[in-house]
Structure 1
């Protein structure tokens, strides 16, 4: 039987060969249905079988895996014994009858090479990943090993696997740590990080299992479309396993991935200089206003004023569309994009910050002259102009994988979108041990200063008890201000943000030690467990203060999930501030208008508004749900536009 074929009439394995070609790519997905057939998509999704492994079926699978693991441990993981299993997997695929033996083999390798015994939840998660599903596994339950087990089974079948993690550090760390397990199975593992030369990249993708970031893999796939006669870097998009899947599939879905090449364009640089000069002469509210964050639009008065200012200019400045677009970008650079929140100025360069994680987004830049405008605003020498040679988005990139699965601690909230766009069901697994997290009532403060003062008092009280504290802040400015306030109060602490990400893992890992105080921006996807120090559990475990005004409930849950892992004790509370952008809305503005320091609805100490916690939570949930719906609409609109562009490229006469 030809490699890539399967018995029992099931789909062929996603491997390079006669079936899928030398560079496998996916065709249409349930979420990528042509417009004439979209009416069939919803009924077909509802008819998809639910994940069957609950209760007794799950127990039977775990028993079969345990028996298989015992057998492999007894006879040893020798090559002559592994080859028949690999041959069967390549021939038949990892159907349920064979999967228990393969998972038992992978579990035996983890036990033999690393001393790790996979838990039942990890084995069930690996099983679901091999079923091409997305798995919600609570934080601290071992997503890294669960993904490794699934990757091992797929690689034993001959499928090239890409395991995508949050950053280069985690990709290199996981590949290094898990190498003994994969080597025990006769598999080769490699990693791809930023700055790796093309030949080394090609060799890394040739491994059985490749750890990388989604960004590196996406750009390498883009480069493969532009390489001409040169050998491709990837072996196709066969199978991807995503860590923090919701961050990649939802939060970063609309991020444009633009492959650029430098070009000499002095006219663009001169135009950016002129646009900044013009933008500085326009008044907010009168000449321009917010359109859709983070964009601005000129008012009719602004358009008239801009036409007057450009009357003495020549060339493209006489074109209304050109001057409006470029000046709007200049206004965005001047007034909306802020250092410390949206970007850093480091080593004479502008480095973008990821809005979700707070990390520096290496290699990322704004398009359409915006990056040059920010550089000029900061008084830096503009970097060479770039022109786009290829472009995609994570929605399109992940849609090209023949097999796509992933894990996260927060997937349930966006399961409908994941099903619609990617055709993937979400499996929610319960924690191995019941959670002992104590969720304290939410609080509301009038402004950032009063909340910060209250945080310092709260941290001081917990520190005196010896409990470790983790405070999550919105951005670099907030973390710096809180750090200064803690230092003034004589409280030793460590800060983790975009300026201090080199020792990220060490800072996060030490956050559970007795008396530790950690201030962090955007804890999503840190990828390192916070282990409790000696005697900390008896004190109540790690305490998390959520001082973030997150647009998504998932981000709040990710931060709270840093405490009370694997049955440990812990507590969390969310502290909001009334002057945050999220609270500036209609009737709520009038409702909280009387909450001023000294007012009857405000506590004397810390000026904390006595708004009932249930009301705070209800409002937060409402505005987060509204934001998520708007974001989902934008993602769907972008996906439809991309499909339209694809159709035009394939059929030049087609209409948008």
Structure 2
């Protein structure tokens, strides 16, 4: 059945490529025509296309001629001609899909085609790269082609002034890194005026290395935070307590999902140590929060794997790239819990003011496309989350790299000794070698083994990131041995020194299977670029982290039947089935986690959309604030009635004194009629009694419509209350998310619980916001000069 499905999918891809090839033939037929045009005539094509689009033609109608124009412009400006396969890649991107193209196939040039076509619509195109260096490089390179054709090109960088950012976004095409576009979106939705906002509505984006941006970075939300003081002593105390806790006895930890919880014994121990009755009482919520963060820091984060210490500071490491995430910190006290664990000075905590996940940010683009060398393994996720198809583009030159069969050893020690022997053997032939590792810790372990064998090497990991360009430049030279974490996996070119081709090219050694085949393929792809010779091989052991974490029990059962040689090499072929199956399970687990987290974030995303829509409305100075606040007054009165006229109680039991006080606070200038159990038996009775009072008050509010000062005051105060309420709401939702896993005994789906209770919290937050505005307005009407 599976083979039939694969065949159908394969046939579908072939049909698509065939269709693209026919369009490429049409583009090629125009090449000789384009060559006869002068530069000005070629440039005039841009004006003609824009005119056609404004008069009812579509992108589909102009794409063939537009691609031919870009190809000719690239020939004249860069001296580069798009290959047919690059034209196919451009067509895939234009349709809003993913072009899978191996490293070295010229993806940057491919992007010039759809970028030009969609920029003709004058709505802005964003080209997303993985770092600032590539954004600047691509803008300067491909931007020359687009500027030659009369389009404007901008560069969006961090630390730029607002005026420069606005100018960059007003350009037809804007280059930058994805996180900066996301942070600009959040900042725009914290702006105090329209003039401070820099972005315009999203239109079309092309993401380079799309799998890195949309999958690897998907687990880390974009957060803008303000500082709040930390309880340094409390963090240190909780870290000290945590060191006395024992795995399984006091807490459980799922290495697969990185979820951790206290056991009954653990809860009892905390209650005894802090002399409290019930850890889950509302009054002990802060203690629980500090303790659960201390637990996470203790068991889910490992030094020199997830973070390093530099100048007495915790520096987070991206496990997928191996790079330090400069300027990034963990939120909600987890960063401080790590500092306490390591005995470092405690910094101020971050309080989230605005946040969005990478997934929900990019899903706001009406059209999205991307390029990468490794996306096919994640095709299901791209399709389900982003509705994008992955199309494998044929290579311009055949791939000559030899990918050798994995070798598996019984122990990690045997594996590293075998790596040394392999390095020694290839080093004698003067071929350059790249050794890929999973973490800083593992890269340093490999280095120790090479030291013992007296093998010279250069080490590239997050601790030596500043020398990355220099180290990579040397990695393709004769006899050079480079040990690297995943940071050497992409975005860096290893160029072969003259004479290395004849020796067999670069040899890549993997020291462990990654938890994704995609990252393994990226490492292999460092060799054999653009038709170069090269080879790769993975050296594994049954003690490797992925195998231990996901297949530990299976390995123990299998060990008895394994044949092992004198060097610890496993000779049974069935071990490969186990490893391949384990990696697939691991990929599925990560996908499920991302899908679950996205389900949770969709809840807050819906709430964010409501708040940001209202906020943008408040920023619009043409909007009449009176029309916004009158419904708030009425909603607040409804909530007051509901709070006081409680169901299940007799009218005689209702507190009419408090009710009148609350009504007076909102209807400040009016006399409240006498209210008692004699004349109020329901909310409807109250509404009828207040009818004239409310009408009179609304007339006073309407009188402010022509008062420009009052309009501005109401606008600013509404923004203030909305922003402070949203900040508190984000904190409440984070605490809800933390506690939701503890309540699985209710036999209810945690995601549904989060959605249901999150909605209730949101209603409360919004009601509180409306009440604050209504109360402020009441005070303003009474004494405007003092407010």
Answering whether residue 324 of structure 2 is matched by residue 365 of structure 1, we say: no
2:435 corresponds to: 471
Q: Going by fraction, where is helix more abundant, 1 or 2?
A: 2
Quote the offset at 1:252 in angstroms: 2.2
> How far apart are 1:283 and its partner, in Å?
2.3
Q: 1:262 aligns with which of 215, 227, 234?
A: 227
SS in 2 for 1:538: helix
Q: Is residue 399 of structure 1 aligned with residue 399 of structure 2?
A: no
TM-score by length of 1: 0.85
Q: Please point out which of 552, 559, 583 is paired with 1:624.
A: 583
1:165 equivalent in structure 2: 129
Residue of structure 1 in register with 2:475 after alignment: 511
Aligned partner of 1:240 in structure 2 is 205
Contact map agreement 1:444 1:575 (CA 8 A) in 2: yes
CA separation of 1:401 and 1:486: change in aligned 2, threshold 3 A = same
Say whether residues 1:281 and 2:244 are aligned partners: yes
Q: Aligned-pair distance for 1:375?
A: 1.8
Distance 2:68 2:311 in 1: 50
Structure 1 unaligned blocks of 5 or more: 1-45
Deviations 1:305-351 (A, max 9, x none): 11111117999999555434422221222343122211122233222
How many Å separate the matches in 1 of 2:355 and 2:498? 51
1:266-345 mapped onto 2 (5 Å cutoff): 266=230, 268-291=231-254, 293-311=257-275, 319=283, 321-345=285-309
1:461 deviation in Å? 1.2
Distance (whole Å) between structure 2 residues aligned to residue 211 and residue 200 of structure 1: 13
Deviations 1:629-655 (A, max 9, x none): 222222222222223334456499994
* Residue 178 (str. 1) matches residue 139 (str. 2): no
Equivalence map 1:477-516=2 (5 Å): 477-516=441-480
Whether the aligned pair in 1 keeps the contact of 2:461 and 2:487 (CA below 8 Å) is: no
SS in 2 for 1:179: helix
Query: Which of 551, 559, 562 pairs up with 1:593?
Result: 559
- 1:370–1:589 CA distance, 2 compared to 1 (3 A): same
Name the counterpart of 2:572: 611
Closer, same or farther in 2 for the Cα pair 1:176/1:350, shift >3 Å?
farther
Distance 1:191 1:235, change over 3 A: same
Whether 2:40 is the aligned partner of 1:75: answer: no
Question: Which fold has the larger relative contact order, with Cα–Cα distance below 8 Å and residues 6 or more apart in sequence?
Answer: 1
- Cα gap change, 1:211 to 1:611, in 2 (>3 Å): farther
Who is 2:602 aligned against?
A: 643
Quick check: which has more Rg, 1 or 2?
Answer: 2
Contact 1:261 1:388 in 2 (8 A): yes
SS in 1 for 2:465: coil
CA contact (8 A) 1:438 1:570 kept: yes
Q: 2: CA distance between counterparts of 1:558 and 1:381?
A: 38
SS at match of 1:125: helix
**Greater Cα shift, 359-368 or 317-326:** 317-326
Report if the CA contact (8 A) 2:331-2:351 is conserved. Answer: no
Q: Distance in 2 between matches of 1:101 and 1:576?
A: 52
Q: C-alpha separation between the residues in 2 aligned to 1:227 and 1:273?
A: 37
Counterparts of 1:515 and 1:551, CA distance in 2: 30
Residue in 2 that maps onto 1:578: 542
2:3 maps to none
Sort the Cα spacing of 1:583 and 1:486 in 2 relative to 1 into closer, same or farther, 3 A.
Answer: same
CA distance in 2 between counterparts of 1:487 and 1:284 reads 36
| 1:435 positional shift | 2.1
Aligned twin of 1:567: 531
- Inter-partner Cα distance in structure 2 for 1:408 and 1:180: 23
C-alpha distance 492-188 of structure 1, shift in aligned 2 (>3 A) = farther
CA deviation map 1:555-581 (0-9, x unaligned): 111111221223222211111121123
Counterpart Cα distance in 2 of 1:346 and 1:162: 35
Report the alpha carbon displacement of residue 522 of structure 1 after superposing the two structures with TM: 0.9
Deviations 1:211-261 (A, max 9, x none): 211111111111111113143122222211111112222232232221111
> Aligned partners of 1:257, 1:166: CA distance in 2, in Å?
15
CA RMSD in angstroms comes to 2.9
CA distance in 2, matches of 1:384, 1:91: 57
2:109 pairs with 1:145: yes
Q: Classify the secondary structure of the residue corresponding to 2:385.
A: helix
1:87 to 48, 51, 71: 51
Between the aligned partners of 1:147 and 1:495, the Cα distance in structure 2 is 34
Whether contact under 8 Å (1:168, 1:193) holds in the other structure is: yes
What is the match of residue 123 of structure 1?
87
When the two structures are aligned, how many residues end up with a matched partner?
601
Rounded Cα–Cα distance in structure 1 between residues aligned with 2:284 and 2:254: 18
Distance 1:182 1:515, change over 3 A: farther
Do the aligned partners of 2:252 and 2:262 also contact (CA within 8 Å) in 1? yes
Contact in 2 for aligned 1:438/1:572 (Cα 8 Å)? yes
